[in-house]
Structure 1
C-alpha cells in the first residue's frame, strides 16, 4: 500500500508536453493535460505543469519540492505501474492570477505481474498564473484509508 500511495504523489492532477509547450489557458486545461500526460506516461509533461518552485504534499510522505523532483517522482510512479488518471469531479475558484482546484480522482495502477488496482483520492491544487499560463504551485493529495 505504501508504494500505491507514493504513486499518487503528483497527482493531484494536474501538463504541457514540455516546459516550452503552449500556454495553459485555464486551471481546468491543466488538469486535462495532466490526464493526457499520465496516459502517455510522460513524466516531463506532468512536471511541466508545475511551477519551478512547486511543492507536492502527500500524507505520510516526504515533501517533494521543485519541478525536477516532481518529474522524477512521476517517473518512479510510471515505473511502478501508474497507468491512468481520471478526474471524477473538479471545482475551481479562479482569480486574476491565482486559482484553487479541488479534484476527486481515480488512478489505475498496473504493477508488472499483478492485477490492476484502482485508487480514489482527492487533491487540492493551488495555481499561479505565469508567462507559461496557469501552473501548479502546490499540490496536496490524499488517499482515504
Structure 2
C-alpha cells in the first residue's frame, strides 16, 4: 500500500487530521508535518533515544513507529512538558548541575525520566544509570545527568511532603 492515508493523531492534547504516506515515521510527521521539532532524530535505529516521546504515557521511539499506527493513542512530546513556562524539577536540576551540553539528547532524556521518576520516587544511582541506558549522550559523560535525576527526585519528594 503506497497511497497516502488519512489519520487523526492526538498530540499534546490537540487533534490533528493528516494525510501521510503509510511508511512515514512518527518522528518525521511530528517534525515535518506538525512542526514539533523537539523530537530529535539521531540514529534512526531506536538505539540513541533522541526521538523518545510518550505514547499513552509510556516512553517510545518515534523513529521506529509509523504514524499510521498511532490513531487512537495519546502522544506527548517534549513541547508539552512545562507548558506553563515553569520548568519541572527534572528540567531545573539538569540546568543547575550542568546535565546537558549540546541538548540533542535532552528531550528524550527528559521524557524518559519524567515518567520514570513517577514510578521510582526514591531512586539510587544504579537505578538511574539503568534507566538511562536507553539514551545516548555524546557530550556529558552521564555523571551530571545522573546527579540531576537524583536531585530532581529529592526535590519531588520534598514537594510531596516525603
Give the TM-score taking structure 1 as reference length.
0.28
TM-score scaled by length of structure 2: 0.26
Larger Rg: 2
Of Structure 1 and Structure 2, the greater helix share is in 2
Report which of the two has the higher share of strand: 1
